[in-house]
Amino acid sequence: MPYSGSSMTEQAGQFTCSVVAYSVGNALGATTAEVARALEAGRTGLAPCRLDLPFETATGALPDALPALPKALARWDSRVGRIAALVFDGLAGPVAAAVRRWGADRVAVVVGTSTGGILETERALGEQASLGRLPDGFDLQRQHAFHGLLEVVRELAGARGPAWVVSTACSSSAKVLGSARRLLRSGLADAVLVGGADSLCLTTLRGFGSLQALSSRPCRPFAAQRDGTSIGEGAAFVLLERGADGPARLLGVGESSDAHHMSHPHPEGAGAVAAMAGALAQSGLDGAAVDYVNAHGTATPANDAIEARAIVQVVGTGAAVASTKGYTGHLLGAAGITEAVFAVLAIERSYVPESLGATPLDPAVAVDVVRAGRRVPVRYALSNSFAFGGNNASVVLGAP
């Protein structure tokens, strides 16, 4: 039976957290418009990996050359910072308006990442190995450390409110939405810029490869022949305000930490169930109200089967379910916020994208996997992000 509420439900009308504006960029395109067109066209951004690896895999990559950071931010230069700056540009106007409206001290910034500037350190260590010295200008604290990404985003936004980084692997930038909701609800901020960014790097790809979790071809979530995930890079940002008008509302965020295993999901999906049920409780919704589930859907055999069973337990079988990792790859620390934006797009455009590569479907998957894009009304959407170590987050978004 679908989840049917709990004592955690908030009173209707007690608190409204609105998505005012958003921006997203990844292998599908550098702008929100390009990404949205690719989703509706059912076009993947995955291609053979361009990095030097001892195995074959597909990745979702942005162009190798990205615009440099503004001169004032040059000391923080990194690929992840450049990705963040590129995507933030699509949100610069609304954020500047929020800073003017509320004041810089009342605009908070919370970002998620899992790789940070590891790519810069890999390059620096490579140069040290070949030339006997680190590159001129390399700064571990500014280019590798996660706060380097935060400094870039804060400076671009002109925000001076509370600011921090969340790093819980693949749920990082879903959990930032929970942080933002608490900041707004407590009155510690009037607007919160949330986001996530990660870049491709050898450490991550070799790590997933060592776990035998990568497919040699574009990943196929929920497919009978799925054999692993694909990794991608990208960023997304969302501007949230209390009680404002916007394309969607952030209704609830459920977070759990089942700590079952370092890399394997709980066999009964306990953490996933708890996160989804918590998000629905905070939203005041029954599971049957959900129209669309953007599944975590990594295309690994264990994850998809366990997540599908958890969705049936909490939501039932009436919602359309799709994983968008067949388009972008798994964006790691940027996945949660990117897929929350995809849920907002589904609400705005009344369109649920195809779950690429799901045919033929795994017969053990009992949810309604979308195998051809659907033009249907979406009033409530649930987006899942489940991470290593059992760090789970689910987000419920609703129409205005």
Active-site annotation, residues: 170, 296, 330
Tokens matching residue 301: 């055999």
Q: Work out the end-to-end distance of the chain between its first and last CA atoms, rounded to an integer number of angstroms.
A: 28
* Alpha-carbon distance values, 87 to 66, 195, 227 (Å): 11, 10, 31
Whole-angstrom distance, CA of residue 241 vs CA of residue 334: 21
Is the separation of the CB atoms in 346 and 295 below 8 Å? no
Contact 386, 293 (CB under 8 A): no
Residue 331, exposed/middle/buried by CB under 10 A (0-12, 13-18, 19+)? buried
Length of the chain counted residue by residue: 400
CA dist 238 → 54, 256, 341 (Å):
37, 22, 8
Question: How far apart are alpha carbons 95 and 205 in whole angstroms?
Answer: 34
Nearest to 328, CA basis, from 219, 247, 165: 219
Half-sphere CA count of 361, side-chain side, radius 13 A: 16
